[in-house]
Amino acid sequence: MNRERFIVGNKIELKAYGKINLGLDVLGIFPDGYHKVEMLMAQVSLADDVYVEVHHLYEKKDCEKNHKETSIELKLKGKEIIDDAENLAIIAARTFLKNKKITGNITIEIKKNIPIGAGMAGGSADCAAVLHALNVLTKDVGEGIPLEELVQMAGEIGSDVPFCVMGQIKGNNILTDFYEESSALSFFGLAVETGGVCIPVLSYNWKVLIVKPDFSVSTKEVYQGIDSEMSSPKLSRQRDKNFRFRRDATYNDTSEILNHRLDGRRNIEVFKIAQLIEEGKPVESIRFMGNILENFTEKKYTEITEIKDMIRKQKNAVSVLMTGSGPTVFALYDDEEKLMKDYKMMTSLYNEVYKTETLWDNIF
């Protein structure tokens, strides 16, 4: 009997949301070279559009017998991005199919809206969208992959991908219906270890201005630089290689649950930011916001500081920070009118300026 399974014309479209870091701290280096971090990430409405279409699927034993190989076509629209085997979307598709022991013919189309090389996890967001899309489209071939396993898979691809997996569920109706765990997830997430242990945090709506200068920075270079700048301590214990969500955790019991991980000094009070937002005190959380990576990136790329100073001088934004390893600057606002004043100013100076907002639970 021919066990070849065909799925023809199955296509899904997902929003792959970008992120900003409301807090980012580096606490040390694990023996394998990975960094111990604490991050509070927030997804924003600025998103790539990701389309995934499955033309044919084959069970692994049949594809080996009939020499069927995986074929992945990637179509890119918008900004210039890597379109070869190093693209995270292609890596996500190959990783998923390998884990599910299937192969097939797949087309991925990405319309890029998130700035490239900006510290906004655009590539990680696309990667997460492909994982979700294939999980939905291949549900009739074997069983759907549980969220915990999908998160583990995501973490093996990139440290920002698990958070993107979480937020996209809340922001795409088809995923909310697909995953039983969706009600416990959020658009904000507290990430620890190397970023893969994520705890949902109550989300809040800020209006956001995004400004990306006309250059990109190397994440590897920035982390190496911050190690030298801050003398990042060498950690003796091995990193936790399990990537997961603690859906049973709220901020109130996060400290107890992760107590064994809270070793080392604190430069940015990331947990305090999360706590205040959870307690309905987002305004108070603002004074604790910060990004330790600014200590290196701004010294080497002084234009980042100049952008921040220009925005701050207008006194419209409640907070102005760099996201991720940079170079993108974001500003938070409590109303649209104040954002528009700075938006008009920055669009006269820079090519990549965006109006967006943090996603919150009642947005959809």
Which residues are catalytically annotated? Answer: 19, 160
Q: Which of 180, 165, 113 is CA-nearest to residue 134?
A: 165
Tokens of 112: 């890029």
Type and span of the H or E element at 197: strand 197-201
Task: Output the CA torsion sign for 341, 346, 347, 352.
Answer: negative
- Residue 202 DSSP code: -
Q: Answer for the pair 137, 54: CB distance below 8 angstroms, yes or no.
A: yes
| Rounded Cα–Cα distance for residues 87 and 72 (Å) | 12
Angstrom CA distances, 25 to 186, 261, 359, stand at: 21, 14, 23
Q: Please check whether residue 82 is in contact with residue 89, taking contact to mean a CB–CB distance below 8 angstroms.
A: no
Dihedral Cα 193, 168, 81, 347, nearest 10 deg: -100
Report the alpha-carbon distance of residue 251 to residue 203 in Å, rounded: 12
Measured on CA atoms in the order 280, 282, 288, 292, is the torsion positive or negative? positive
CA quadruple 245, 283, 260, 238: dihedral sign: positive
Residue type present at position 282: P
